[in-house]
Structure 1
Amino acid sequence: MSTYINSLKQWCEEVFTIYEENKPMERDNLQADKKDELHEQFVQFKESLTNEDSLDELEIYNRANELAEQLELKLKENGIPVQLTDKMRADNQNNMVPIGGHKLPPLPYSYNALEPYISQEIMRLHHDKHHQTYVDGLNKAEREMQKARITNNFQLIKHWEREAAFHGAGHYLHTIFWNIMSPDGGGKPSGNLLMEINRSFGSFDKFKKHFSEAANNVEGVGWAILVWSPRAHRLEILQAEKHQNLSQWDVIPLLVLDVWEHAYYLQYKNERKKYVDNWWKVVNWPEVEKRFDTAQRVTWQPF
C-alpha cells in the first residue's frame, strides 16, 4: 500500500473524530427525519479506503479534497471554523504550510498608512488582487505537482515547475515586501546592519545609490534585492526579472545539481539523464543533513 493511502487513512481518522465531536451541534439544526447526507458520504469514503484492490490514488485525492471542502463549509455554517483540507495535506502542529495551503498574509498596517508616498488605492489593489493571484497560482501549481507524484505522470512537470517558481517567488517576495515598509520608516539603519553596509559598500550613501540604480535598471518588470551571501560573508545587491528566473526567494539551498552542459558534456555528451542518474551515487548526504540541521533554525511566520 502506498504511503499516500496510509496518510489519507490517517487523515480520515482525524477528520472523522472532529466531525463526530461537532455533529451533535449540526443535528440539533436538522429535522429529525432528515438524513445527514454528508456524514453518510464521509463514512462511505472512509470504508472505500479498505478496498485496496480498487484504489485509484488520483481519484481518491480529488474526492478527498471535494469532500473535505464540503465538510468545512457545513461546519462553518454552524460556527465551527475547521480546516479539514489542511489536515489532509499535512500535519500542521509545527505550523507547516500544507501543499496547496498558502494564504495571503494580512498587511501589518492599514491600506492608507504609507500615504502620501504610496496611495491607499495602490496598496489595496497590490495586496488584495495582485498578491492573492500569486498565492492562488502557487497553490494550484503545488497541487498539480502532487498529482503528478501520485499518478507518476510528469508530462506537464516543466509547466507546473515554472508556475511554482513564478507564483511562489511572487508570494514570498511580496510577503517580505509588506513587512520591510512602515509608516514610521525612513532614515537609515543602525547597529550591526549599518556596520555591515559600510563594510560591504563603503558607506550607506553608496549602498543607497547602488540599490536605487539597480532598481531603476531592472529590465522589464522585477525587483532589486539586498541579500546576505553566506559564502562571500558580505551583503550583495541583486536584481530579479519578473519575480524569479525559475526560482523562489526566502529559501535556503540544501542540495544542488548543476545541469549546465559544462558540468557533464565532456563525459556524457548529450545524455543528461545518464549524468543525473549517476549523480545520485555521489551525493554527500551527511553534508546535506548538516545544512538541513542549520537551516531548520531559521523560521519565519508561515503564509
Structure 2
Amino acid sequence: EMMTMSTLRRMRPTAQALRCFSSAPSVSFTLPDLPYDYAALEPVVSGEIMTIHHTKHHQTYVTNLNAAYEKLLDAQAKGDIDAAIALQGAIKFNGGGHVNHSIFWQNLCPVSMGGGQLQDGPLKEAIMAEFGSLEALQAKFNATTAAIQGSGWGWLGFDKAAGKIKIATCANQDPLMASHGLVPLLGVDVWEHAYYLQYKNVRPEYLKQIWQIINWKDVEARLLAAK
C-alpha cells in the first residue's frame, strides 16, 4: 500500500517549517508519562509488564518514529519521492505504535481511581443501543480480539457516518482510523509483550481480566469529542 500523492502533498512541510527543521536536531515525538504508577494496575497487569511495556516497547516506537520522520522531512526537502515512499512502512508501524499506546495508557486506570466502573451517560447509552448490555459488548470484544492471528489490537471505535460505536481489530500496530475509518475510543493491546509475562499464552484470560481496569471516563470523553 503506497502513499497517495495527495497524502504526500499534505505532508510536505512549508518553506518556513523546512527552515525551522534545518536548524533543529530532531523531531520531538516524546514518550508520554503514565497517569498512574507502574504497579497501580496490579493484580490485573503486573508492574513488571507495565515498566517494560512503557519504558522499552513504547519508547522504541517513539525513538524509531523520530528517526523515520526526520528522514521523511529530509526526503521531502530534497524532493526525493522514492525515499519518502520507502519510509512509509516505518512511519506507519512506529507511528501507529506510538499513537496506539498513547491511547492505551489513558484507557486504563486503577480500580481505586474508578477503573472498570461504567457510569450512566452517553457512552453507556451507546453501548446499550448497539450491544444490549456491557456484558454483551465485552463478550463480543473478547471473542473478536482473541481471534486476532499474531499481534494486533482490539478496538471500540466510533463510526461518525453511522453515528454508532463498533468493534474492530487491527493487525500489528496499524492505527484504527487509517484502517477502518473509525475514531478510536478504547484499544486493547494483544501483542504478547502486553501480557505474556503474567498470562503466558492464555490471551482470553488477559482479555477477561482487563475490563477491571478500563477507564470508562476516558472512553466516554473520546466519544463526546468524536461527535
Q: State whether structure 2 residue 124 is matched by structure 1 residue 194.
A: yes
**Is structure 2 residue 15 aligned with structure 1 residue 4?**
yes
Matched AA of 2:79: N
Query: What is the alpha-carbon distance in structure 2 between the residues aligned to residue 134 and residue 145 of structure 1?
Result: 16
2:77 matched to 1:150? yes
Correspondence for 1:161 among 60, 71, 88? 88
Pick aligned residue for 1:141 from 59, 63, 68: 68
Deviation by residue 1:118-154 (Cα, 9 ceiling, x = unmatched) = 1111100000010011111221222111111110112
Aligned equivalent of 2:110, options 179, 183, 189: 183
Q: What is the alpha-carbon root mean square deviation over aligned residues?
A: 2.8
Q: Percent identity, aligned pairs only?
A: 31
CA distance in 2: counterparts of 1:245 and 1:174, whole angstroms: 10
What is the identity, as a one-letter code, of the residue corresponding to 2:66? N
Counterpart of 2:56 in 1: which secondary structure?
helix
Q: Could you tell me which amino acid in structure 1 is paired with residue 146 of structure 2?
A: N
Residue of structure 2 in register with 1:101 after alignment = 28
Q: Given that residues 166 and 247 in structure 1 are in contact (C-alpha distance below 8 angstroms), is that contact kept between their aligned partners in structure 2?
A: no
Q: What do the CA deviations read for 1:176-233 (whole angstroms, capped 9, x no partner)?
A: 1111111121243431111110101122211110011112111110000000100111
Q: Which has the higher contact order (CA 8 A, sep 6+)?
A: 2
Give distance in 2, aligned partners of 1:246 and 1:164: 15
The CA deviation string for residues 11-55 of structure 1, in whole angstroms up to 9 with x for no partner, is: 5xxxxxxxxxxxxxxxxxxxxxxxxxxxxxxxxxxxxxxxxxxxx
Question: Is residue 211–residue 224 contact of structure 1 (8 Å, CA) maintained in 2?
Answer: yes
Q: Does 1:235 align with 2:165?
A: yes
Give, in whole Å, the separation in 2 of the partners of 1:155 and 1:115. Answer: 47
- Provide the rounded CA distance (Å) in 1 between the counterparts of 2:53 and 2:89: 22
- On the 8 A contact 2:75/2:84 being kept in 1, the answer is yes
Structure 1: gaps of 5 or more residues: 12-59, 67-84, 86-99, 254-297
Query: Any stretches of 5+ residues in structure 2 without a counterpart?
Result: 1-12, 184-224
Query: Aligned partners of 2:37, 2:17: CA distance in 1, in Å?
Result: 45
2:156 corresponds, among 226, 246, 260, to: 226
Q: How far does residue 116 in structure 1 lie from its aligned partner after superposition?
A: 1.1
Task: Tell me if the contact between 2:96 and 2:175 (Cα under 8 Å) persists in the aligned partners.
Answer: no
The one-letter code of the counterpart of 2:37 is S
TM-score of the pair, normalised by structure 2:
0.66
Give, in whole Å, the separation in 1 of the partners of 2:47 and 2:36. Answer: 11
Give 1 or 2 for the bigger CA radius of gyration: 1
TM-score by length of 1: 0.51
User: Contact (CA 8 Å) 1:165, 1:247: kept in 2 or not?
Assistant: no
CA distance in 1, matches of 2:110, 2:47: 12
Structure-2 separation of matches of 1:177 and 1:215: 15
- Tell whether 2:52 aligns with 1:125: yes
How many corresponding residue pairs?
A: 169
User: Could you tell me whether the CA contact under 8 Å between 2:157 and 2:182 is conserved in 1?
Assistant: no
SS in 1 for 2:153: strand
1:33-92 deviations in Å (ceiling 9; x for gaps): xxxxxxxxxxxxxxxxxxxxxxxxxxx93xx345xxxxxxxxxxxxxxxxxx6xxxxxxx
| Partner SS state of residue 107, structure 1 | coil
Distance 1:240 1:161 in 2: 17
